[in-house]
Structure 1
Amino acid sequence: MPDSASKTQFLAILIDGDNVPASIIEGLLAEVAKLGVASVKRIYGDWTTPNLGQWKQTLLQYSIQPIQQFRYTTGKNATDSAMIIDAMDLLYMGHFSGFCLVSSDSDFTRLAARIRESGCFVYGFGEKKTPRPFVAACDRFIYTEVFAVKTETGLPAKPSPRSSLELRGDTTLLRLVREGIETASDEAGWAPLGAVGQYISRAEGDFDSRNYGYAKLSELVTAIGLFEVDRREAGVYVKDLRKK
């Protein structure tokens, strides 16, 4: 599997237009830019229907290629099939190190698993309602609620950070942070925060500090109040206060 930290990833972005609102596009592309280069940007849907009207306004602005797929019959999603076929065609080309599947639909679970079997990285993007099987099938899953969508005032709407009490009550969060520290710590109990974050991402593909209202992992760990954070010239280190 490609190492995202060692080289530039060339990515294919495939968007389920019937399942994703156009309001996320700025946040989505900004997030993808952190991961690699978007060599392909395609969106799938029936462009003869009015529900894709908002997307039509953004296609030219962001150079996204619309793929037309008529609805052959009511109750069947031909868009999913077209997106899956294109994904496999792109996979066999061998030009991409990763795929960004943008949908909250569990129908793409097997596609994500199949792409990973071929050695490519899979980034999933969808709402928190996304079924767990699809989330788990991706190497990393990013919930689109974390993208700052502009409000009527023109300013980004930011989620409220969870309190220290709420964070301490999240046993899953505490377990992940402590396991990450335990895995990466030295004899004194200090662990590089970057290594802790890498462990957490491998253990839980949908982990994101922004889901808790914090822009960075260091801010989240500090807010919990159960860990000591030391900012050094070599980077940020963290230690479980129980080890003192």
Structure 2
Amino acid sequence: VLAVMPKDWCCCRAIAEFEIPFLARKREQVLRNCLVISCAGFGLAVLGFLGGYSSGTILKALPWAIWRRSDGAVAYAGVRWACNGTAGSKLLRSGIHAVSLDEPANCTKWSSMDCTSVEDDLTCSLCQNTAQVTVVPVALTVIAYLLFTNHARQRYIGKDSAQHKVMACFSAFFGGFNFLGTMVTYWQSCVKTAADDPDNHATLGAGLLCMMIGATGLKVLVGLLQLGVPVEEEEDTSREEEDDSDEDESTSLKE
């Protein structure tokens, strides 16, 4: 909807003209940093996407959630797959980590998993439902991030417009914080709830961390920087508009 809004609308004009003085004074440097940060954030989001959608080795390297039971059993999951690993406790590090990549795994799609056969079926069902409803938002976020990065690029290369600034800010604040809620819900359902079980040590995976930092943290940061730099339309365009208006006035006077 915002993409087709007229640039002379009051809200668009206000956002386009808004500036933070110390950012506006370093316009070129700020816009360059916005593009660099956007590319870095997109890269992290892609890593999180790969971990969330994959199974096997990629999921082991970029899991969203990791569970270790007191008997040494290990499991890890994304938004489409959950895997049981055989890594022993000595191969695990406390905190954010991935299990040993050379260990075999038995993976099952969340949509095909029977949580009634799992010891803690309620926790399994909660994570299963959350993972399934997170599949689409993750894909949409990565696609939207590509468009977001393009807006940052257009502003940096001199093709600035109110539309690019408004869309960049909207995507950063609305999209970023909205997706943050999705990530927090996954963390609460698949990590925090599982960690309440004294026999289960649950930790945040590297894939989820990449997605949180890239698709929320860095995206919101870029949005703040973009907001502080006012729009500078191309001078040629404004001059052409003035010339056209002068010609129209002269024509009307002759008539």
Q: TM-score, normalised by structure 1?
A: 0.25
Higher relative contact order at CA 8 Å, sep ≥6: structure 1 or structure 2?
Answer: 2
Q: TM-score, normalised by structure 2?
A: 0.24
**Structure possessing the higher radius of gyration over alpha carbons:** 2
Between Structure 1 and Structure 2, the one with more helix by share is: 2
